[in-house]
Amino acid sequence: MPNPDVWKMILRSKLSTFSTLIFAGLVKNAGKTTALNAINTLFPDESLGLTSLGYDGETQDAIYRHPKPSISVRTGQIILTAERFLPDTPKRYDILETWGNHPQFGSWQILKITAPGDFRMAGPSALSELVEGISRLRYHGARRIHVDGALNRLSHISVTSLAKTEEAVAFDTLQELSGREKIKRIVNRDAGIVLSTSAALGNTLNEVIERTLHNLELFQLPSFSRSSPIPLINSGQDQALPFQQNAYFHQGSWSLLPTFLWNQALKVLIPAQTDSIYLKGALTDSIYLALRAAERLPYRFIVRSPAHVLLSPAVWNGLKSRGIEVTLLDSPHLAILTLCPWHPITPIPTERMAEALLPYIKIPMVDMQKQEVWLP
């Protein structure tokens, strides 16, 4: 029988160095909300800020109709959500601030919870609004931030990259709030990712393990180092990475590419034997295959984050067999991997998943429901 005190002590020690945790699921029903609720209880003495990337908190799975866990909130926690999703029950919160206006969900609300209960959240889905919301949560006293990611969307890990690229400027001024006072944006220098996988990722244990390891490989891609011999600034231009446009590096300088690369004469646009291509958007099969057909594959692709590598396993393996490197502008800090046995037909015990993953993994694995931890 697992000892809950030991389980909590191990998890707390692994996660306490991150003041911001971003929760991401590899598949629907990965146990992400269960992980969020469990980890929220690990820091009772710290003021916790909660929000969601888009809408979360549904009570029933839309496809399989099984009950889904609610997001649990506790007294003193600070919540960022949309006006439309405020609880209809007797008031259990104080409104600290209102700003902005979502076309479907109404204004953004910063709330302080005054009584525990379950909650539905719908936070900003745009990265700029999410960063601003996190700054406002901190302004209102949140020492830790936990962000619940939307279904099967990992692009919010770019919050970590954004924080690092802005690290030289610790504060910047946000737009004026009502009352004409201003707050300062607090840069999240230490954001971590809590990644959740599940038996629902495949139909067999082998499929689940292969797909989980593929995603972990993307999260562990090397960072495009700021000590790289490739300059971060164009010769004669004042434009540092991340570029606002696609670009390639050849013979010592960067050159910009069109925003959309499909249906372009790539053989004309890009010289042969190009060192690097930076893609503002995603690295997809169609882009890779078009570059291959034009004989313009670079030695290195640079993308923003693991979420921007959208290659099929066959194309990914082909890229690696050619010795092509893929680097990230900033690698996210992967904190832990949570395991969930759920599958609509063939559930897989997390013990079997952990045993199969353990030889290849460098971060702790956790079954939140059983309170079990497997250390690398």
**Can you spell out the DSSP letters for 334-373?**
EEEEEEE---SS----HHHHHHHHGGG--S-EEETTTTEE
Q: 178 and 99, same structural domain?
A: yes
Can you give the pTM of this predicted structure? Answer: 0.84
Highest average pLDDT, of 52-61, 190-199, 228-237, comes from: 190-199
Going by pLDDT thresholds of 50, 70 and 90, the confidence category of residue 327 is very high
67 plus 155 within the same structural domain: yes
Residues 119 and 214 in one domain: yes
Range with the poorest average pLDDT among 94-103, 185-194, 242-251: 185-194
Q: Please indicate, yes or no, whether residues 50 and 180 belong to a single structural domain of this protein.
A: yes
Name the range with the highest mean pLDDT among 80-94, 109-123, 329-343, 345-359.
345-359
Mean of pLDDT over the chain: 82
For residue 187, the model assigns a pLDDT of: 40
Amino acid at 275: D
Whether 145 is covered by a domain: the verdict is yes
Q: Indicate whether 137 and 125 sit together in one domain.
A: yes
The residue with greater pLDDT, 365 or 54, is: 365
What is the number of residues in the chain? Answer: 376
Strand intervals (E) in 121-243: 121-123, 144-148, 171-173, 184-186, 191-198
Burial class, 213, CB count within 10 angstroms (exposed 0-12 / middle 13-18 / buried 19+): middle
Whether residue 236 is contained in a domain is answered as: no
Say whether pLDDT at 115 is over 70.
yes
The arithmetic mean of pLDDT across residues 136-145, rounded, is: 93
Query: What range defines the domain where residue 284 resides?
Result: 247-328
Total domains in the fold of the chain: 2
Is 367 a member of any domain?
Answer: yes
Q: Is residue 227 part of a domain?
A: no
Same domain, 51 and 184: yes
- Taking 50 as the threshold, does the pLDDT of residue 183 lie above it? no
Do 192 and 263 have their domain in common?
A: no
Exposure letters 176-194 (e unless 16+ CB within 10 A, then b): eeeeeeebebbbbeebbbb
Q: What is the CATH number of the domain that holds 35?
A: 3.40.50
Asked if residue 54 has pLDDT above 80, the reply is no
Indicate whether 225 belongs to any domain.
no
Task: Provide the pLDDT for residue 155.
Answer: 56
Asked whether residue 234 is domain-assigned, the answer is no
Percent pLDDT > 90 in the chain is: 49
Residues 203 and 274 in one domain: no
Check whether residue 257 and residue 320 sit in a common domain: yes
> Does residue 293 lie in a domain region?
yes
Output the CA–CA distances (angstroms, integers) from residue 12 to 6, 40, 336, 361, 365, in the order listed.
10, 10, 11, 20, 13
Q: Classify residue 157: in a domain, yes or no.
A: yes
Identify the pLDDT of residue 184.
40
